[in-house]
Amino acid sequence: MDPDIRSRLYDQHLHSHHSFDCKTPPEENVQAALKAGLAGLTFTEHFDPHPDEWKECIYDYAKCSESIRRLRDEYGDRIFIGQGIEVGYYRERLDFTLDFLAERSFDCVILSLHAIDHRLLHVRESWHGLSVAQASRCYFEHLLEAVEFARDAHRRYGTVFNVLGHLDLVKRYSRRFFNEECVTGHLPLVDRILDACIQADLTPEINTSTWRQGLTEPMPGAAILQRFVERGGAAVSLGSDAHRAEDIGANFSDALELSRSSGVRQIALFRDRVRRLVNV
């Protein structure tokens, strides 16, 4: 990657020990981002109100804020350090989710889907009785519901969510458990999701984590990115979804190359919930 381009980018999806599934001290993430030559990083710790996840996915705003304040005091003259949040969509606690976000300040809010109703995608038993095609369709139907919720919230309250995380996440687990995927079989649903993203002013991310996990493309891949551009989409966000410091900014060169080849020419950066665009 051109160092000049890297020096203008943020990694806007990553975790620290403030997330239940990560043990990395936040300072190590900042040091890794500096070493990688990035302009910034945004901590997007988990907030997942799903009943099977909530006990571990409570977002401790006070602790996260204090941690980021200390990091900004020490490193803020060298790199942007953002406070974000990754919100798991769960239809039975939508008012609770909106109230939580409205009462707190963030630089970037990611909307993600990790479960199909009570079926957690990362749990192998959750796939019992579903084919990969069935599970994939259920996932995209639920994701459409989530993005339409974001669109309606945007129309009512203004911007609530900034980024749509790992749009085709279902393929990560269908590959892991069954060595197959069925994303292209549901492209009409994906098109509706992309349309709703544009209406909601919701920026899809290129999540590079699947490249580290043995898949041949990120989330989403070229086919969906091209459809996003064809439907009027202009910019994407970049996120490593790092749970280890050494993965901060991983495969961003590949993500930029894929963006360009798919017709995406801008990367969205968020600060105080305001989007700024970088031409690539």
List the chain domain ranges: 3-279
* Res 53: pLDDT: 74
Written as tens digits, the pLDDT of the chain (280 aa) is 566 677 899 999 999 999 999 999 999 999 999 999 999 999 999 999 877 777 777 899 999 999 999 999 999 999 999 999 999 999 888 999 999 999 999 999 999 999 987 899 999 999 999 999 999 999 999 999 999 999 999 999 999 999 999 999 999 999 999 999 999 999 999 999 999 999 999 999 999 999 999 999 999 999 999 999 999 999 999 999 999 999 999 999 999 999 999 999 999 999 999 999 999 8
Side-chain-facing half-sphere of 33: CA atoms under 13 Å: 31
* Res 3: pLDDT: 60
* Res 49: pLDDT: 87
* Res 1: pLDDT: 54
* Res 217: pLDDT: 97
CATH code given to domain 3-279: 3.20.20.140
* Res 17: pLDDT: 97
* Res 69: pLDDT: 98
Report the C-alpha dihedral over residues 210, 215, 216, 222, rounded to 10 degrees: -50
* Res 106: pLDDT: 98
* Res 262: pLDDT: 97
